[in-house]
Amino acid sequence: GQNIDQPTEMTATEGAIVQINCTYQTSGFNGLFWYQQHAGEAPTFLSYNVLDGLEEKGRFSSFLSRSKGYSYLLLKELQMKDSASYLCAVMNSNYQLIWGAGTKLIIKP
């Protein structure tokens, strides 16, 4: 089967750095996405990785290793507004998006 694994919940302190991991097993690979979803709201796009390496976008970075079936989202200089769920999704060889259950990130002052 196909599955995406990410931690259910993480807690971090305002101003700190947090890394959210995602491992995947899918039938083929055509890219990995990270979305942010605040409670009760729709997901919004954060990043897309299709080649190995690190993609940096402001305070957020996303890393991909296709050989290991692994990605992480790195959030720096955490702010209270970063409290949200972070969804990892992989596009397989049929261009279907397989979604993880999301990681709820709690930021404490």
Q: Point out which residues bind other proteins (CB under 8 A).
A: 4, 8, 30-31, 33, 35, 40-45, 48, 50, 87, 89, 91, 95-102
Of 48 and 70, nearer to other proteins (C-beta) is: 48
Label residue 84 exposed, middle or buried (CB < 10 Å: 0-12, 13-18, 19+). buried
User: Nearest distance from residue 96's CB to other proteins, in Å?
Assistant: 7
Residue 83 or residue 92: which is nearer to other proteins going by CB? 92
Give 14 or 41: the residue with its C-beta nearer to other proteins: 41
What is the rounded CA–CA span in Å between residue 102 and residue 41?
A: 14
User: E strands, the chain, where?
Assistant: 3-5, 9-13, 18-25, 32-37, 44-49, 53-57, 60-65, 70-75, 84-91, 97-99, 103-108
Smallest gap from residue 8 Cβ to other proteins (A): 7
Question: Is 19 or 44 the residue whose CB approaches other proteins more closely?
Answer: 44
Tokens representing residue 3 in the block: 């599955």
The CB-of-41 to other proteins minimum distance in angstroms stands at 7
